């Protein structure tokens, strides 16, 4: 299929035996633009009626404190780079590499700031991560806080199954939710993209992670770490992580347009009551 689409882009003669479906109906247009930039060469478009719907209908998921946690379709909670020796940095990766306790804290804080725009409507919610170890860690934190700081989650419908908000990306293929919170986990000192990113190099899984949210996409990760990996990859042969570079560029574009916000974890953590 990909070879055929590549042939068509080269304007080769011959019958067309494949066609990419490039109109989407699920996501907020801002989320779709990031997905399009990262995985579809900018060809993914949002259906015109859906564009009108998202521009005129209030989001079912809102922030309880928009000055700290903005009401934007895309919010990136930016964790300190693990290599940083500055406050909040860890000066290297802690074990195990498939679980990130600080990101779990950031997920819980972000979830605690979510509310409903209409009490009569229960939006769906999913918390996803590439790694099962991180899913279990976050799930334990949800159970520990569901009667306290996360009592607000009673207003949301779990999107993984009837009782579970948390799942891996593989468990959520084909799923969707009004609000998706993603814990990326990876944040380390490794020099090569293969060791630094691991699972995150898989474009298909990353596509699923970024394309499941309808109204709100909340990502927890480290922009400085991704920028470092992209810079290293640019100097190495055969390092196919173009989508990560595209993601950083698309996020910056949506941020400048007012459709996304980058919130430092130190700011969000400092605002905790």
Orientation of helix 29-39 relative to helix 48-56, angle to 10°: 130
| Residue 94 pLDDT | 52
Structural domains for the chain = 59-270 (3.40.50.300)
Q: What is the pLDDT of residues 210-243, one digit of tens each?
A: 999 999 999 999 999 999 999 888 887 776 676 8
| Residue 5 pLDDT | 80
Residue 91 pLDDT exceeds 90: no
What is the pTM for the complete model shown? Answer: 0.90
Q: What is the pLDDT of residues 13-35, one digit of tens each?
A: 778 888 778 899 999 999 999 99
Which residue do the tokens 């990306």 mark? 169
* Residue 187 vs residue 87, higher pLDDT: 187
Cα–Cα–Cα angle for 76, 140, 135, rounded to 5 degrees: 50
| Residue 134 pLDDT | 96
Residue 86 pLDDT exceeds 60: no
What mean pLDDT is predicted for residues 2-23? 81
| Residue 84 pLDDT | 64
Q: What is the pLDDT of residues 189-216, one digit of tens each?
A: 886 788 888 878 888 889 999 999 999 9
Local confidence band at 89 (pLDDT 50, 70, 90 cut-offs): very low
């Amino acid at each position: 299929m990909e070879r055929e689409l590549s042939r068509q882009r080269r304007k080769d003669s011959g019958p067309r035996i494949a066609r990419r479906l490039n109109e989407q109906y699920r996501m907020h247009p801002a989320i779709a633009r990031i997905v399009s930039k990262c995985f579809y060469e900018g060809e993914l478009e949002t259906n015109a009626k859906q564009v009108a719907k998202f521009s005129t209908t209030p989001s079912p998921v809102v922030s309880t404190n928009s000055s700290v946690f903005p009401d934007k379709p895309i919010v990136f909670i930016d964790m300190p780079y693990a290599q940083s020796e500055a406050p909040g940095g860890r000066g290297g990766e802690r074990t195990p590499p498939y679980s990130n306790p600080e990101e779990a804290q950031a997920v819980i804080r972000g979830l605690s700031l979510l509310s409903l725009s209409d009490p009569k409507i229960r939006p769906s919610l999913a918390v996803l991560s590439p790694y099962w170890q991180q899913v279990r860690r976050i799930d334990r934190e949800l159970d520990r806080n569901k009667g306290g700081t996360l009592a607000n989650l009673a207003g949301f419908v779990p999107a993984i199954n009837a009782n579970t908000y948390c799942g891996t990306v593989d468990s959520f293929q084909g799923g969707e939710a009004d609000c998706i919170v993603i814990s990326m986990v990876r944040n380390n000192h490794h020099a090569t993209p293969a060791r630094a990113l691991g699972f995150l190099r898989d474009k298909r899984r990353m596509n699923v992670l970024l394309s499941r949210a309808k109204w709100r996409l909340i990502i927890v990760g480290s922009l400085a770490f991704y920028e470092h990996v992209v810079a290293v990859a640019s100097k190495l042969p055969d390092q196919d992580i173009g989508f990560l570079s595209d993601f950083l560029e698309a996020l910056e574009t949506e941020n400048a347009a007012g459709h996304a916000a980058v919130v430092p974890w130190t700011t969000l953590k400092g605002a905790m009551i």
